Amino acid sequence: MSKTVLVIEDEPNISEAIGFILSRDGWRVANHFNGVDAVEAVRTRNPDLVILDVMLPGRSGYDILQELRASATTADLPVLLLTARGQSKDRELAESYGASRFMTKPFSNAEVLEAVRDLARD
């Protein structure tokens, strides 16, 4: 049975590209495009892994990550955090909020695939 990844990303080109490479790798991919009800989408879809953009309409990916980590049902859910900002303070913030992995845009398809495979093994 294939695993499910929920991609929470508001840029259609990025979510489509990620969905394509992960689908080819055997993942079931669901997409969500805003931060307002992203936590509800995670709870409803119950994915094996989440790819979460930091800058979303309605709510920051950092806020979403904090809420996911505060809940017993999603505290250990692997979360790959994506951001266009890759400064060390951004990386430190992501780690302090509990991101499983941090990736700066732009990224290669191979980087995303490797990160998702690694997170799925953990």
Q: What percent of the chain has pLDDT over 70?
A: 99
In tens, the pLDDT along 28-45 reads 999 999 999 999 999 999
The CA-atom distances, in angstroms, between 107 and each of 56, 73, 93 are 18, 30, 20
The pLDDT of 91-107, averaged and rounded, is 94
Task: Report the pLDDT value the prediction gives residue 1, as an integer from 0 to 100.
Answer: 58
Residue 83's domain comprises 4-121
For the domain that residue 52 is a member of, what is the CATH number? 3.40.50.2300
Total structural domains in the chain? 1
pTM for this prediction: 0.96
116: tokens are 């998702």
